Each structure stands twice: as C-alpha cells, then as structure tokens.
Amino acid sequence: MNAAKRLEIFRRFHEDNPEPKTELAYSSPFELLIAVILSAQSTDVGVNKATAKLYPVANTPAAIHALGVEGLSEYIKTIGLYNSKAKNVIETCRMLVELHNGEVPQTREELEALPGVGRKTANVVLNTAFRQLTMAVDTHIFRVSNRTGIAPGKNVVEVENKLMKFVPKQYLLDSHHWLILHGRYVCLARKPRCGSCRIEDLCEYKAKTSDD
C-alpha cells in the first residue's frame, strides 16, 4: 500500500470520528490501567459492568490492595480469568504503592514490570492516559492491518513497528482507536462488512464481501 492511500484512509477515519476514545470506562490513569488488565480475553462491556461496581468502592492502588484477592474477586467474578486477574491486580497495586508512590508510571519498562501488564497493555495506557505516541496491537488491529494492507506483518511486534512507521504522523496519536473500532464494528473477523466500509475503495483485501 502506498503512502497516498494510507493518508486518505486515516483522513476519512478522522473525518468520521475526530476524537476517538477507548470504550473502557475510566476517570484516571490508574482506573484505565486496571480496566485494561481486566479486559484481556474479555469484552469492554463486561469490564465496564464490573468496574462500575468496583470503582465507587475502591479506585486507588491502596484501596484496591486493601480488598485483598478474595475481596476484589467478588467485584470481578463476572469477568473471564477473574482469579488470576485478581491476583495480578492486587500485586500490581502493592507495587504501585511501594515503588511508585501510588502513581501509574509513564514508561513502558516500568509498566511492563507490573503483573498482568504486557506490551499491549502498557501501550494502551501510555497512549490513552498519557497521550504518548505508542501503538497497542490487539487482535482487531492485527487483522485490520494485515487484511487492508495498511501494515502487514507476521506478528504483533512487526505490525506495531510498521504502523509506527507508516501511519501519517498527524494521525498517529489516535490511530490505535480508529483501527480498533474499525475492526470491532466493520472489518469483522469472520465476515468483514465491506459494503458498509468507508475505506473499501482503498483497502487491498481481495475477497471483498457484500453486506447481504
């Protein structure tokens, strides 16, 4: 795919949604961090339902740590893998209190040192909470990048690196949100909704579908 096509793709994404946002509900970098940890192999809707009950009771590292694994589990037991997530969140809260004065760190290395935080989660927090130029490649972004030809790659790191290189600089900061939303609602895994796609004429996917 050439640079002119990529520029037009992201120009249209921006035109349709000038200020894209994550669908996870949060009101602080810490709330976002916990929500992203909980969202692994779970839906944003399911996470939001759980955190809507949790955050009014505890929404700081010290407060959630005080709940303990069993106490936290009661709030998040509707989420997949909640047992291991509860352990990770409690340990992450302990580390935030003891090592970071209760604040969420703003470097990938420090974030990835926290239990339950991998490269993707760290990138989401850095981009969404701290507005850093990072690219969190999830299954939606990986699929869209490969299927459209925007940034094909064999693994998530390769796709991440290509997106950081190829997405026009003026659109890079928000591109992660546009690509996720496009994959979630239009460029679906089983059958993409090509007939409803704003970038169908620019996409290089060979097996275009109708919406019938």
Give the catalytic positions in this structure: 120, 138
Residue 203 labelled as part of a binding site: yes
| Token pair 């120009």 in the structure block, residue | 11
H or E stretch at 89: helix 82-100
Q: How far apart are CA 100 and CA 14, in angstroms?
A: 36
Residue 93 labelled as part of a binding site: no
Q: How far apart are CA 85 and CA 64, in angstroms?
A: 13
Coil/strand/helix, residue 131: coil
Per the document, the length of the chain is: 212
Residues 6 or more apart whose CB falls under 8 angstroms from that of 155 comprise: none
Q: How far apart are CA 88 and CA 85, in angstroms?
A: 5
Binding site residues for [4Fe-4S] cluster, as ranges? 187, 194, 197, 203
Binding site residues, as ranges? 187, 194, 197, 203
